[in-house]
Structure formats: structure tokens, C-alpha cells
Structure 1
Amino acid sequence: MNKKVFISGSISIKKLPKEAQKSIDNIINKNFEILVGDAKGVDSLVQRYCASRGYYNVKVYSIYDAPRNKISDKFRFEKVEVSESVRRKRESERQQAKDQAMTRDCDYCLVIWNGRSKGSYANILRAKELKKGLKVVINN
């Protein structure tokens, strides 16, 4: 069965660090499926990086009917259903449902973290709690 890697990170990051690019290249070389969100920042950077490499074994997760950012039509799409109570929360809290789904669905997590983002830190903690393989690239 094909392994899956959830790649996440801070929306404030504007460029993928070299270490993250190397990790993504390794993921591509192993033909692992990449799970990524639909936000700006790292999500969009990872999508662009994969498309630039001609790598389309990518699934974009979103809590919306259509993802906010999906760089290639060749990427697959997974809508994460959220409860009515979650829909009433702040955007960052609603997005946690998407990150929880990707963490649950993956074998490994690669988190590109600026050292401040609470969402990325929550992904690190969740990956550890669920005993997923984890690599953190610090970008500050």
C-alpha cells in the first residue's frame, strides 16, 4: 500500500526552505501520496513545488465545496465535512478539522514551522499523539 505524507506549515512562510524541498524530493522519489491543505503559505508552496516537478500524486483537503487553492486540476480533492457547531467557530478553529483529517489519514507528517504558528504546532503535537512519523523543518 502506498504511504501518505501530510505536509503542513505556517501561512506566513513565503518560500520553501531547502531542507523542506529535499524532504519533498525524497517523498516524490518514493512515490508517496502527498496530503496538503488549501491555504496560502506552505500549502500553496507545496502544491506549486509538486506541480513544477510534474508530480501529481497529491490530494488537496478543504472544508469547502471547492478548495480555496488547488494549483493543478491533476491533484485530487478531499472535502472534509464539519459539523454545524464547528461551522460557527472562527476560521482557524474550523480549519483544525481539515488538519485532523489529514493527520488521521497519513503515515508521516512533515511540518514546516516558523516557531510561532499555533496551527502548525498543533499538527506537531497531534502527529506525536497519533504516533505518526514526524519531521519538523524550522523556518524562522
Structure 2
Amino acid sequence: MNTVFIGGSRHISRLPAQAKERLNNIIENGHEVVVGDANGADKAVQKHFLDAAYEKVTVFCSGDKPRNNLGEWRTQNITPPKHVKGFQFYAAKDREMAREADFGFMIWDGKSPGTVLNVLRLIRAGKKAVLLNVPEESPVTFKTREQWSEFLARCSADLRENLRDRATPDEWEADEPSAQADLLETSRGVQNVKTSPATQPPSAADLAANVNAALASGDPSSFIDALGHLARAKKGGMTQIAKETGLARESLYRALGKDGNPELVTILKVISALGLTLEAKMQVKAGTSISL
């Protein structure tokens, strides 16, 4: 028995036949279902399971109370980080569902970046996802990051920009497709495109050296920025740091991001998770002698 994360776009209030067929397969196989509480596709999916009297459903919501729980199923309340509003408030439950699930089924209106972003979250976790493009009546199956990159390369520039803006750095990483000529560009335009040689990314040792240099400079913002770069470069990224420190991943992104101001205990936990040590040395000014 597997757990399936089912999500979709707010603009889809009626499920197409292909979606209903896949939901019926889930019922026949007795899979556990995790679904959100939003209007649109979430509510339509809930209605389908309610009509089928299916009980293996858990409704996830951000905050204290679900907006929709048609079958009065078990609920999972997710507490978003403080001061988070709008899309990121509701994205907290989506991230948890992606972590809980073994597979994902997304019902897409062909435009919504949030639905596509859930596919990325599942792919990042090494899980299979199916994206049903309702307007085109075509499902796309994702099993590898290469398939995601190929899909992303076919998306519009606006959709890619929206995805990048809404994703966390750890979710997005380096999946931006390489610059490709538009089908409407002339051959001359293609020939005039200049590419720069690939640069070798900094090693962990380089990033650790940057942390030391920033710490020695006495500039707190430079130190936090360098520490954040090193944390994101660690295998598993902020997700792994969060697991090892017991801190919320979203809180780590804020604390180690631009204008971050983490508490000392957070800094010490992150340094330990990175395998670093913090050492204090006496600074000796010229002309001063110290006897020990």
C-alpha cells in the first residue's frame, strides 16, 4: 500500500474523465491519499472520494482549520513559519504532503505554477509524479530529474519565472534550462547568441574558507551569507541541515538568507551539522606581550 499526494489547480472545479479514472484506480488499489483543503481541484478530488465513500484520506491544511474537508476525514495541520503569508503560507502543507507521499498525481490547468511546483518537490525527493494537463488532455509522467528538465525547457518563460520565484533555493537548485533558440527566431539570431564557458562550482573547502574569511572580517552579514552558501552546498541541502539540527527548513532559509539575523544557538547547530568547529583565538596587537 502506497501514499499518493493528489493536488491541482484552483481553476479546476470539475474533474475530467482521465482524472476520475486514475482516482478510481487509487481506490481499487487501496492506497492512502493525502490531499489539500483548497477550492478547485482539491475540493473536486475530495468530492470524488466522498461519493465513493472512500475512507483512506487525510486532508492537509496550513493553520488551525481546513477550508474544505467534505468527508470529515482525518486532518493534518501544518504550522507555517511566522510572518509567512500568501502562497508561501499554503505551500507549507504542500511540502509536507510531498514528503509524506510515495507518488504524486497533479491535475493541472496548464498555467498554475503551484501545481507544477509540487511535481518538482516530488522529483527532488526521488518520487514518481504524474501531471495531467487538463486543457491538452495529456498526462506527463516524471521519474527522473532529466524528464523534469526537459519539461521545464518546453515551458514558457513566464511560467519558469513564476516557478523560480515561488520555489525555495533548495527546491529550485540548478534546474534552469540552458538558453535555447525560440522556434520563431531566425538562424542569424541563433548564430549571434554568445555562450560563456562553464565555470567550476566552488568546492566545500572553498566555501568553508569563505566562512573563515567572513568571520575574520568581523562583518556579521558576510559571515551569515557565507554560512548559508555552505549549508546549501552540503549534500541534501537545507533539508539535511534541518534534519540534523531539528530546526525548521523554512526558518533556516530565513536565518541564513539575505538580511538574516540568526540566534547564536542556531549558528552553533548549523556549524556542527556542517562538520565545522568554531575556535576563539586571542588577538595580539603589535607591541603587546602576553605571558601564559
TM category, shorter: over 0.9
Q: Summarize the alignment of residues 118-129 of structure 1 with structure 2, pairs less than 5 Å apart.
A: 118-129=113-124
**Is the contact made by 2:63 and 2:80 (CA closer than 8 Å) also made in structure 1?**
no
Match among 128, 131, 138 for residue 126 of structure 2: 131
Q: Structure 2-normalised TM-score? A: 0.45
Q: Summarize the alignment of residues 52-67 of structure 1 with structure 2, pairs less than 5 Å apart.
A: 52-67=51-66
Distance in 1 between the 2:86 and 2:16 partners? Answer: 27
Q: Deviations over 1:16-44 (max 9, x none)?
A: 11111111000000110110000000100
| Secondary structure of the corresponding residue to residue 16 of structure 1 | coil
Distance in 2 between the 1:125 and 1:133 partners? Answer: 10
Distance in 1 between the 2:91 and 2:102 partners? Answer: 18
Ranked by relative contact order (alpha carbons within 8 Å, sequence separation 6 or more), the top structure is 1
**TM-aligned CA deviation for residue 14 of structure 1:** 1.6
Partner of residue 93, structure 2: 98
Partner of residue 81, structure 2: 83
Point out the structure with the larger helix share.
2
4+ long deviations beyond 2 Å: none
Distance in 2 between the 1:135 and 1:121 partners? Answer: 10
**Is the contact made by 2:108 and 2:133 (CA closer than 8 Å) also made in structure 1?**
yes
Q: Deviations over 1:41-87 (max 9, x none)?
A: 010000000010110110000012111110012x1100012221xxx
Distance in 2 between the 1:46 and 1:122 partners? Answer: 19
- Give the length in aligned residue pairs: 135
Alignment gaps of 5+ in structure 2: 136-292
- 2:33 corresponds to 1:38: no
Q: Structure 1-normalised TM-score? A: 0.92
**Is the contact made by 2:64 and 2:77 (CA closer than 8 Å) also made in structure 1?**
yes
**TM-aligned CA deviation for residue 8 of structure 1:** 0.3
Looking at CA atoms only, which structure, 1 or 2, has the larger radius of gyration? 2
Alignment gaps of 5+ in structure 1: none
What's the RMSD between the two structures over aligned residues? 1.0
Distance in 2 between the 1:17 and 1:52 partners? Answer: 16
Distance in 2 between the 1:72 and 1:120 partners? Answer: 23
